Chains A and B, each alone.
Chain A
């Protein structure tokens, strides 16, 4: 029986056999692009769930701020410098995580291109711009998968990739972002089938949340927030830590041990067509 299976079936600890309160106690999770936005929110939620959180960012100082937040809340965290477009840095970050905490149970690939939110003129946009998107999305998903596989196989772990409703529905203005996220959904489903026999689960998470960029845009345009929330049945735009984070925790934890190849859309009901 796998380690994950043991966690969910072992009733020896009586009061909380499924570790519902801190479901990642004793587990180590590495997250990319964790210095801000959705990545930061997920990192904080992982810390609250008991995980040893390996916060990765391109700048160590930025990652350290998030790690400090986690430890200030009583959690466990470390920082690794990692530009996901650099295979050597990816390998080094993963090795550093295992060296520090002795194991790796989950990888959350949250990083996305800095140019993700830029409108794209599909008819004339350069292939270099597309390559920038792809380098952080599909290429980095591959790089992380290849490097993390031995560690995740050892723990029967989880690989979680952040995608987007845009990847399912397309986007008139963010066509490259949509394509990058759509590609990651194809990646997720096929890799889930490939890694199932190794006991590794592969899933996607498609959030709708307030990021620093969106927050700034809403400050500049007061009409934006009501226009967005009007389309969300739950009536608010998700919080990265309290709305998105717990879903990432679930997909990293043993409670989702029978879930693989799926994309969980966390959008307050904004997107229900999947």
Chain B
């Protein structure tokens, strides 16, 4: 299911903004199941509703009571299949999710309360269509390379006060092809690496606020089905150790849930390559 796919599901408090439908799913229940499927059934067992902050006192079980929380309120931004899969996975775990295609679409859809998790997983239609730089007009360059960064900046700025209040997490998902390089994908790679550097900067700044920033680089094929046209090109990392199934949008969602565990509280600013074990660097 794509994020924001059903305008009919939008409650009155969350109108479609700028013609882009927003979806708010409210399904509050325990998140215990979330980590039981990831081998850590204690992590989401708490119920005090307090946010997790790095360095909180641990309880007898090694995880503080307040740390036993998954994200209660999440905002997922982006048109990518990754964004859709993450939103769906979070809903499945009982998280209240607002999913929008771009930051500007949040508008009145802003939860208006402390958010535990903001996920920014952009996809610009046409960005995975391999095209030589010399064939791109300035307007096309702006749409493919610059606009995603401006939207990302807006996402970071939207997230900070909310995550600061909640001691939450920001997750950025941009394609691994930006790290390796891909012929015909210069604007996609430029935007992705700018966003990743912005994310590292945010990680350095926000640690003092108890906010962690995680950087995920899934394979380009997880962004959108349109990327299938790149099969057989130089960005087709067919040597992925775990095989193609490990590089799906759902696999990325699994990792997002993993990073929501308080056991991930010692991580920030790191890049996790979700390419099925193709690159294996550094």
Contacts and interface: CB of A to CB of B under 8 A. Distances in A.
Given A175-B205, A194-B186, A189 B181 contact: yes
Nearest to A141: B190
Interface stretch (A25-33, A164-172, A230-238): A164-172
Contacts of A183: 145, 149, 190-191, 193-194, 197
B76 interface: no
A169 to B, nearest CB: 6
A124 B160 CA distance: 10
B234 interface: yes
Nearest to B164: A123
B146 A138 contact: yes
Instruction: Indicate the size class of the contact surface on chain B.
Output: 35 or more
A226 to B, nearest CB: 23
Contacts of B191: 183, 186
Contacts of A167: 193, 197
Contact of B153 (A127, A174, A181, A188): A127
Nearest to B146: A134
A101 interface: no
A184 B205 contact: no
Contact of B150 (A130, A166, A273): A130
A184 B190 contact: yes
Interface stretch (B23-31, B39-47, B66-74, B129-137): B129-137
> Dominant SS at the B interface?
helix
Given A130-B150, A171-B204, A190-B178, A123 B160 contact: yes
B192 interface: yes
Interface string A120-144: 0011110100110010001101110
B235 to A, nearest CB: 9
A87 interface: yes
A187 B182 contact: no
A58 interface: no
Contact of A170 (B146, B156, B190, B199): B199
Contact of A178 (B146, B183, B197): B197
B186 to A, nearest CB: 4
Interface string A180-200: 111111111111111010000
B133 A139 contact: no
A54 B276 CA distance: 46
Contacts of A166: 197
B185 interface: yes
B242 to A, nearest CB: 24
Contact of A190 (B134, B141, B161, B185): B185
Q: Which of A141, A178, A183, A189 gathers most chain B CB within 10 Å?
A: A183
Given A171-B204, A179-B194, A122 B156 contact: yes
Instruction: Indicate the size class of the contact surface on chain A.
Output: 35 or more
Contact of B203 (A170, A185, A188, A191): A170
B99 interface: no
Interface in B150-179: 150, 153-154, 156-157, 160-161, 177-179
A146 B133 CA distance: 6
A172 B150 contact: no
A182 B146 contact: no
Q: Which of B161, B178, B234, B269 gathers most chain A CB within 10 Å?
A: B178
Contacts of B156: 122-123
Contacts of B258: none
Contact of B201 (A138, A170, A189, A193): A170
B196 interface: yes
Interface string A2-28: 000000000000000000000000000
Nearest to A188: B181
A210 interface: no
A190 B149 CA distance: 17
8 contacts: A122-B156, A122-B201, A127-B153, A166-B197, A170-B202, A171-B204, A183-B149, A189-B181
Given A122-B198, A146-B133, 13 more contacts: A130-B153, A142-B138, A169-B200, A171-B201, A179-B194, A181-B197, A182-B197, A183-B149, A185-B193, A186-B194, A187-B186, A190-B189, A193-B182
Interface of A: 87, 122-125, 127, 130-131, 134, 138-139, 141-143, 145-146, 149, 166-172, 174-175, 178-194, 196, 261, 273
* Smallest CB-CB A-B distances: 4 pairs: A182-B197, A170-B200, A186-B193, A189-B181
